[in-house]
């Protein structure tokens, strides 16, 4: 008898939600960013399409991504101009990287242009990149 009353109560609740104009709340899946630990700076240098440091000059918002303009200061890999644009996802679940306007970064990019930056790379604020900079060496001026 108790089970039947419980079922009736559930059906009544569902009917009320439907009749009151409200819908039964949908369950939304949430995915967290999961990364493998990045390898050493020299190993990531080999894997990356380009590695450079620079200051964020502009950040534009697109539908699914941020477009970030970097004023390049040093280059360790790639034919990188003095100003370059990189993209990163707006979605934390896609491991998008959070850049701050005016802050300097050591950036590891992957893929072809437009280059993408991920939270899963060794990209980091320049003041936190001493281990990387020591291993990478001096770097070159942008083209």
Task: State residue 94's pLDDT score.
Answer: 85
Task: State residue 31's pLDDT score.
Answer: 56
What pairing do the DSSP bridges indicate for beta strands 50-61 and 104-109? antiparallel
DSSP the chain: -HHHHHHHHHHHHHHHHHHTTPPPPPP--------PPP--HHHHHHHSSEEEEEEEEEEEE-SSEEEEEEEEEEEEES---SEEEEEEES-GGGTB----TT-EEEEEEBSSSSEE-BTTSS-EEGGG-HHHHHHH-S-B---
Task: State residue 2's pLDDT score.
Answer: 38
The whole-angstrom separation of Cα 22 and Cα 19 is: 7
Task: State residue 32's pLDDT score.
Answer: 74
pLDDT, tens digit only, all 143 positions of the chain? 333 334 444 444 444 444 445 554 454 555 578 888 889 999 999 999 999 999 999 999 999 999 999 999 999 999 999 999 999 998 877 888 999 999 999 999 988 888 989 888 999 999 999 999 999 999 999 98
- pTM of this structure: 0.75
Correct CATH for 41-136 of 2.40.50.120, 2.40.50.140, 3.60.20.10, 1.20.140.10: 2.40.50.120
The whole-angstrom separation of Cα 56 and Cα 53 is: 10
Task: State residue 9's pLDDT score.
Answer: 43
Q: In the chain, where are the structural domains located? A: 41-136
Task: State residue 102's pLDDT score.
Answer: 97
């Amino acid at each position: 008898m108790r089970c039947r009353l419980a079922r009736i109560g559930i059906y009544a609740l569902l009917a009320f939600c439907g009749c009151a104009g409200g819908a039964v709340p949908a369950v939304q899946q949430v995915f967290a960013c999961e990364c493998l630990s990045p390898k050493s700076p020299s190993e990531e240098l080999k894997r990356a399409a380009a590695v450079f440091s620079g200051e964020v000059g502009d950040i534009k918002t697109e539908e699914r991504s941020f477009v970030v303009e970097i004023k390049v200061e040093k280059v360790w890999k790639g034919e990188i101009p003095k100003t370059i644009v990189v993209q990163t996802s707006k979605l934390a679940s896609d491991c998008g990287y959070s850049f701050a306007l005016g802050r300097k970064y050591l950036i590891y990019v992957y893929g072809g242009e437009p280059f993408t930056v991920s939270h899963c790379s060794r990209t980091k604020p320049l003041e936190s990149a001493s281990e990387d900079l020591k291993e990478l060496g001096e770097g070159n001026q942008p083209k």
